[in-house]
Structure 1
Amino acid sequence: MLRPQITNAARVAGRRANSTQANPQVQKAVQQASQLYNQGAQTVKRVAGPVGDRVGSLLGAYRAPLTYNWNVFTSLVRQVYKAEKLAPPTHLSQWATAYANIWARASSPAWWRSALESGEWAKVAIAAVEAYGIFKIGEIIGRRHLVGYKIKEPAAAAH
């Protein structure tokens, strides 16, 4: 259901980019992005080599839909990144300020009381989810595994 809408949107955007009325700077940026994408794809293909081909052949009929969905996902992420003007902090002081604000808010009992008394449960829930998420990311990093700890079963006791 979603695939035809995305395909049509891509065709319309392509027509706009290829029209003679399009901004030459936009066309140049599109060409540069296309060249960079092609260079990156060639590099990945060269690095992956026969392993990448083998994995691709193992996917069989699932390869085309997975590739399409991955391309749609990456395109959507790029569009959101550009539209929201997202960028990671460039200076250490920005990181320190952000974490200091989070810590000050989380460690302030007055903030928690005011949020609960005013009925702003959403703020409290979001703060709890943020804390839980940060904890889980720390757990994943500490385990060096996404799912869980690897447990060795003890040898069976001789009777």
Structure 2
Amino acid sequence: MKMSEADLDACCELANQVWQDYQTPELNAETWGLFSYGDAPAGIGGGVGCFIWLATKQEMLQFAAKVLPYSPPGPLGSDVCAVANEVNLIIDQLLDDQLDLEVGRERLNRTLRHYSQIEWWGTFADLCEGSHPYAEKVIQYFRASSDDADPGAPPSIRAHELERFKEFLEDFGA
């Protein structure tokens, strides 16, 4: 089913409103987040990403469903309705625990190709543990940016690094 111009405008408007209303919650171990970037050529603004943090897994998944099929926009002439429908199907399966989070992320990335890509998602504690390859890379970037970087540091964020790591994430990817 092809989305009408009015429906598409309404969905894009909602996605823009969600972005405008977004406020980063206080990061704690249970805060859920994702790192997403626009999957378009860099010459037209693709590739720039950021962390989005929300209070719950449900809010994070709903954010992905409401925003990523529409903002940033996909290729001209693509079937946004089909993409949004598939995204909603995957998100519903994730919300009902019928799909593993990593499998769901991979399926969303295939569906959202040329729209957005989700590099990582999970809790702030998951990111700090560095157990996902992308989380490990973020921690390596954080440590490389630090004046007192310890080459022998474990792959997880240590207690004394936590506040600096939170500050680092505010600008990471932007």
Q: Answer whether TM exceeds 0.5 for this pair.
A: no
Give me the TM-score of the superposition, normalised by structure 1.
Answer: 0.26
By percentage of residues, which structure has more strand?
2
By percentage of residues, which structure has more helix?
1
Higher normalized contact order (CA 8 Å, seq sep 6+, divided by chain length): 2
